[in-house]
Amino acid sequence: MTDTTVKLSDAAIRRRMLAEFWFYFSQNRGAVLGLIVFILLVLIAVFAGLLAPHDPTVQYRDALLVPPMWEEGGRSAYVFGTDAVGRDMLSRLIYGAQYSLFIGIVVVSIALVGGIVIGLLAGFFGGWVDTVIMRVMDVILAFPSLLLALVLVAVLGPGLTNAMIAIAIVYQPHFARLTRAAVMSEMKREYVTAARVAGAGNLRLMFKTILPNCLAPLIVQATLSFSSAVLDSAALGFLGMGAQPPAPEWGTMLAEAREFILSAWWVVTFPGIAILVSVLAINLMGDGLRDALDPKLKRS
């Protein structure tokens, strides 16, 4: 940020930037809280096998719709109660964390990679390539995302994989647009011209020179997409188009629980809280990231 950085080595610059980033990020209490919850979620997902008191798919036939342990009729073996076929809610919720994180990671990776490649191509080559690509992106964006994802899933067949693909396709134009805009502004900078004069090839220019300089907005968008992916896949699950039973995916659990809305509140309430808390944590983190990475907002 100051002239002295010029003298520093690459590694030192990176360290310095990271430190600065962390400084701004850690100033945001919400973001730190979000990060902590998110790390907890990751831990829960990774160690689900150890944490869960029961197998999430085993049915205890003598324990159908047992209420949570603090309610009348609850049992200590089933802390959050059981569902309609006697599966332990707590264990299902714990394993559900795996699904949500997995969905988020896969969707964001596909959308990010796809979007970056498409955006780079459009921004770098311009002209008719740009026109055609951006027009296609416009078309995709003209549909409400959930509706488009729904129809896509209907086309591909209901299921977790297809739901993830559908959501990734729907999100991908956002990344493409961002990348393109960033590339176009970066292309005018001196360092690009310099690299070109020095004889750098197109590929090298695109990925090594330009891309690292447009990363900040992409990271922010990726975080936001992560939380939307968790929400949208749960919505698809809720509409019966996402992960299929008996998978302990939270949205699917909610869909299965709908008939008990009046008679067994716990099967409806807990999966929703789980979705809300994880999405909220990721969004808090995303806010912090944006503030720390966006130099314009940083100082306002």
Partner 1 sequence: MKMLTRILVAASALAMTSAMPALAKTFVYCSEASPEGFDPAPYTAGGTFDASAHPIYNRLTEFKKGTTEVEPGLAESWEVSEDGTQYTFHLRKGVKWQSNEKFTPTRDFNADDVIFSYDRQGNAENPWHQYIPGITYEYYTSMAMPELIKSIEKIDDYTVKFTLNTPEAPFLANIAMPFASIVSKEYADALDAAGTREDLNNLPIGTGPFKFVAYQKDAVIRYAKNPDYWGTAPIIDDLVFAITPDAAVRLQKLKAGECHLMPYPAPADIEGIKADASLKLDEQAGLNVGYLAYNTTMPPFDNPKVRKALNMAINKQAIVDAVFQGAAEPAKNPIPPTMWSYNDAVVDDAYDPEAAKAMLAEAGVTDLSMKIWAMPVQRPYMPNAKRTAELMQEDLSKIGVKVEIVSYEWGEYLAKSMEPGRDGAVILGWTGDNGDPDNFLSVLLSCDSAGEGGANRAFWCNEDFSKLLKDAKITADQAERTKLYEQAQVIFKDQAPWFTIAHSTQYVPMSAKVSGFVMSPLGDFTFETVDIAE
Partner 2 sequence: MVRFILSKLLYLVPTFLGITLIAFSFVRILPGDPVLLMAGERGVTPERHAELTAQLGYDKNVVLQYFDFLGRLFHGDFGNSLVTKKPVITEFLSLFPATVELGLCAIIIATLIGVPVGVLAAIKRGSWFDQVSMTTALVGFSMPIFWWGLLLIIFFSGILGWTPVSGRISLMYFFPDVTGFMLIDSLLSGQEGAFGSAVSHLILPSVVLATIPLAVIARQTRSAMLEVMGEDYVRTARAKGMPASRVIGIHALRNAMIPVVTTIGLQIGVLMAGAILTETIFSWPGIGKWMIDSISRRDYPVVQSGLLLIAGLVMVVNLLVDLTYGLINPRIRNT
Question: Taking CB under 8 A as the rule, does residue 65 contact partner 1?
Answer: yes
107 and 242 Cβ atoms separated by less than 8 Å? no
Binding piece for partner 1, criterion CB under 8 A, among 94-102, 218-226, 253-261, 283-291: 253-261
Q: Which does 90 bind (CB under 5 to 8 A by kind): partner 1, partner 2, none?
A: none
Judged by CB under 8 A, the number of residues near partner 2 is: 45
Question: Taking CB under 8 A as the rule, does residue 246 contact partner 1?
Answer: yes
Beta-carbon contacts of residue 159 (< 8 Å; ≥ 6 apart): 153, 242, 243, 244
Given its phi and psi angles, is residue 126 left (phi above 0), alpha (psi -120 to 50 degrees) or beta?
left
How far from 219 is each of 184, 186, 289, CA to CA, in Å?
18, 17, 8
Quote the least distance from Cβ 65 to partner 2, whole Å.
16
Question: Taking CB under 8 A as the rule, does residue 63 contact partner 1?
Answer: no
Closer by beta carbon to partner 1, 59 or else 269: 59
Strand partners, 88: 82
220 and 232 Cβ atoms separated by less than 8 Å? no
Question: Taking CB under 8 A as the rule, does residue 260 contact partner 1?
Answer: yes
Question: Taking CB under 8 A as the rule, does residue 1 contact partner 2?
Answer: no
DSSP 82-106: B-TT--BHHHHHHHHHHHHHHHHHH
Instruction: List the x/- string, 20-39, binding to partner 1 by CB under 8 A.
Output: --------------------
Q: Is the peptide bond before 67 cis (omega within 30 degrees of 0)?
A: no
Question: Taking CB under 8 A as the rule, does residue 187 contact partner 2?
Answer: no
Question: Taking CB under 8 A as the rule, does residue 151 contact partner 2?
Answer: yes
Residues 133-162 binding partner 1 (CB under 8 A) are 154, 157-158
On the CB side of 138, CA atoms within 13 Å amount to 6
Instruction: List the x/- string, 71-100, binding to partner 1 by CB under 8 A.
Output: -------------xxx--------------
Question: Taking CB under 8 A as the rule, does residue 55 contact partner 1?
Answer: no
Beta-carbon contacts of residue 127 (< 8 Å; ≥ 6 apart): none
Question: Taking CB under 8 A as the rule, does residue 295 contact partner 2?
Answer: no
**Cα dihedral across residues 6, 8, 10, 14: positive or negative:** negative
Strand partners, 82: 88
Quote the least distance from Cβ 268 to partner 2, whole Å.
6
> What is the number of other CB atoms lying within 10 angstroms of the CB of residue 192?
17
List contacts with partner 1 (CB under 8 A): 57, 59, 61, 64-65, 84-86, 154, 157-158, 240, 244-246, 258-264
Interface contacts to partner 2, rule CB under 8 A: 30, 135-136, 138-140, 142-147, 150-152, 154-155, 157, 227, 231, 234-235, 238-240, 251, 254, 258, 261-262, 265, 268-269, 271-272, 275-276, 279-280, 282-284, 287, 297, 300
